[in-house]
Structure 1
Amino acid sequence: MTPDDPLLQIRGLKIGFPTIDGLVMASDTVDLTIRAGETLALLGETGSGKTVLGMAIPRLLQPNTRIEGEILFRGRDLLSVSEREMEKIRGKEIAVVLQNSGTSLNPVLRVGDQIAEAIMLHCTLDRTDADAAALHLLRAAQISDPTSTARAYPHRLSGGMQERALIALALACSPSVLIADEPTRGLDPVTKREILGLFGEINQDRSVLFITHDIDAAATIASRVAVMYAGEIVELGPVDAVLTAPAHPYTRGLLASLPERGMQPIPGSAPSSLHLPTGCRFSPRCSCAGRRCEREHPELIEIGSGQFARCLVYYDRGS
């Protein structure tokens, strides 16, 4: 595939969780494309729907989740394939680095055994070859003593080492798509830089969906960025354009909240997924909102070369 080919396409994706109070919409009509060999960062506050979107792709959400739309991988809708077929894709073609490395690894299995088992499951190697491949992956994940790490239980490793082990586990069968959910959360600055450097090497061979609330991490690793708010993509475009000339008030608010930009938090809080505003979902927190914003729900429209925003101000400009 060429770099411009859409390896993964999400079309009109709606994700809801039934509760006694009603349907909680975690994702609402999301459209997103990840090209071959691209790293796309998915930014947003906690609760914006980033993790749910990431877990929907390999179908890791609970069975009673209500999902509509399409998730196309190499043109095939993952929402339509059987669970047996999905088991062949999950891990081998699409892998996940789960959030919270300390609880994502099996605490009763040695790290090397976990990686070797994943290799034997998807790559049909015998135990000896799988063990050797596990050591190779740990070494590729920048672990200086892969033999000792392979023999260790997860609780014996530091947070950074656990994260590297998770990455090695995810890469066990050389997947085409890697979904990484907050892989730098809770890491010290030095370890964070090392993990980002590792991802920089990883994305030379595969596509990466990098889910994060860390704007600096997104700026370091991604070529494009999608900003999510209240279950919607509110801005999308090249990372330099979005982070240097943000088009949506929410993106501007995220940047203004950074310490180096004055640490000015966005007022208020995100709306409940049970009671979303009728118009623009950001309007209750937006200093530029008018009455029209309270009534009309904007679509995501192109405002420049490859940059999209969900804001009524661009309708008035004839975009």
Structure 2
Amino acid sequence: MPLLHVKDLSIILSTNDGPARAVRHLDFHLDAGETLGIVGESGCGKSMTALALMGLLPEMSRTEGQILLDGEDLLQKTEDEMCRVRGNRLAMIFQEPMTSLNPVHTIGHQIMEPLRLHLGLSESDARAETLRLLDRVGIPNPTARIDNYPHQLSGGQRQRVMIAIALSCKPDILIADEPTTALDVTIQDQILELIQTLVQEEGMALVLISHDLGVISENTDNILVMYGGAAVEIGQTERIFDDLVHPYTQGLFAAMPKLGRARNARLITIPGTVPDLIHMPTGCTFTDRCPLASDICRNTPPPVVEVKAGHMVACHHVQEARHRKTEELFS
């Protein structure tokens, strides 16, 4: 049994214009110690999936399917039960630490809180463990910093505090949702290296959400490509990078800047825009932007095809996509 098994997950948001399917029939699993990257454009359902795992979806939302943690369905748990799961077995590093940290509490107080709630540590023991965590995530002079407020720290230091909070109770699964979005490139590399090191040392599973394919390739074992709330390709990261199949995955890779490209050369782009979640195509979610789209794509959801062992693709035109060069599809 996998540590985490997401089965046929759908997330429906209530809006003034009608129900919006933010996530559609999502399936994936995660074993202990495994790393999974979730990649896709903004609005494809990455963050909604993370919030569903944590039980933090908006009130005006409805879920279908199952999220099984060691066989227990998290979607069936009460809020009190989820409070015992969050921070203890599942922890999350959010995109923007300045809006995630409480501005009126010191960083020491915020790290100590899960230690006292979940582990039952005394105040003195929690403070000692907080100093250890601050040192472990690379905060200089933890004794002086522990009583600082978030606004007194740099962006990189705030993100390190978020990591310390997430790791404080040694969760089974760490979810990192665009953890380096607001950081410069140098600090970004430091934060990613820190997360990877800590995950390996603690034996945790990692779900890393990003739009940066370079970050995903260097930090994950497996990759899940999402578009329009649905999974379009999933498999081992190395295998997918070596054999791009789905036209959307090919488009994402084609849009990446490449060394050696002429200075005035235009980047390849995927034409069109992400579909409206309220008025999704009946068939494949990528239909309106796909150069291979046909009538069957518009009217029938694509089958999930195994192109290689563990490499799954949801597409009606797998063979044609595999034998066309990426540049040919989107030139």
| Interval containing the TM-score (normalised by the shorter chain) | over 0.9
Q: Does 1:117 align with 2:113?
A: yes
Per-residue deviation, 1:112: 1.0
TM-score, normalised to structure 2, is: 0.91
Give the letter aligned to residue 54 of structure 2. P
d(CA) in 1 for partners of 2:78, 2:295: 47
Give the letter aligned to residue 219 of structure 2. I
Contact 1:199 1:221 in 2 (8 A): no
What corresponds to 1:264 in structure 2? 268
Q: Does 1:237 align with 2:235?
A: yes
d(CA) in 2 for partners of 1:316, 1:235: 16
Once the two structures are superposed, residues 254-308 of structure 1 have per-residue CA deviations (whole angstroms, 9 ceiling, x without a partner) of 1111111763121111100000111211121111222222222103221112111
d(CA) in 1 for partners of 2:313, 2:235: 9
SS at match of 1:108: coil
Contact 2:95 2:180 in 1 (8 A): no
Contact 1:27 1:232 in 2 (8 A): yes
Per-residue deviation, 1:244: 2.8
Give the letter aligned to residue 202 of structure 1. L
What corresponds to 1:105 in structure 2? 101
Give the letter aligned to residue 295 of structure 1. N
- Per mean C-alpha deviation after superposition, the further-off stretch among 13-22 and 56-65 is 56-65
Q: Does 1:150 align with 2:146?
A: yes
What corresponds to 1:213 in structure 2? 211
What corresponds to 2:222 in structure 1? 224
What corresponds to 1:136 in structure 2? 132
Per-residue deviation, 1:309: 0.7
State which of 290, 296, 305 in structure 2 corresponds to 1:292.
Answer: 296
Residue pairs, 1:187-198, within 5 angstroms: 187-198=183-194
Give the letter aligned to residue 316 of structure 2. L
d(CA) in 1 for partners of 2:120, 2:132: 17
Give the letter aligned to residue 315 of structure 2. C
SS at match of 1:99: coil
Supply the RMSD in Å over aligned alpha carbons.
Answer: 1.5
State which of 159, 165, 177 in structure 2 corresponds to 1:169.
Answer: 165
Structure 2, unmatched stretches of 5+, are 262-266, 322-331
Give the letter aligned to residue 81 of structure 1. K
d(CA) in 2 for partners of 1:185, 1:283: 29
Count of aligned residue pairs for this structure pair: 313
Residue pairs, 1:58-97, within 5 angstroms: 58-97=54-93
SS at match of 1:41: strand
Contact 1:123 1:173 in 2 (8 A): yes
What corresponds to 2:318 in structure 1? 314
d(CA) in 1 for partners of 2:231, 2:138: 34
Per-residue deviation, 1:315: 7.8
Matched-pair identity in %: 40
Give the letter aligned to residue 74 of structure 2. L
State which of 37, 40, 45 in structure 2 corresponds to 1:44.
Answer: 40
d(CA) in 2 for partners of 1:299, 1:163: 40
d(CA) in 2 for partners of 1:186, 1:60: 22
Give the letter aligned to residue 232 of structure 1. A
SS at match of 1:259: coil
Per-residue deviation, 1:99: 1.7
Per-residue deviation, 1:133: 0.6
Q: Does 1:274 align with 2:275?
A: no
d(CA) in 2 for partners of 1:53, 1:232: 10
Contact 2:3 2:70 in 1 (8 A): yes
d(CA) in 1 for partners of 2:187, 2:32: 28
Give the letter aligned to residue 304 of structure 1. K
Contact 1:230 1:271 in 2 (8 A): yes
d(CA) in 2 for partners of 1:299, 1:180: 30
d(CA) in 2 for partners of 1:185, 1:243: 23
Once the two structures are superposed, residues 3-53 of structure 1 have per-residue CA deviations (whole angstroms, 9 ceiling, x without a partner) of xx5100000111011112110110011001011101101001000000000
Give the letter aligned to residue 312 of structure 1. H
SS at match of 1:275: coil
Per-residue deviation, 1:316: 8.5
Contact 1:196 1:220 in 2 (8 A): no
d(CA) in 1 for partners of 2:144, 2:34: 33
Structure 1 runs of 4+ off > 4 angstroms? Answer: none
Per-residue deviation, 1:247: 1.0
Once the two structures are superposed, residues 81-129 of structure 1 have per-residue CA deviations (whole angstroms, 9 ceiling, x without a partner) of 2222211111101111112111110111111111011211111001010
SS at match of 1:260: coil
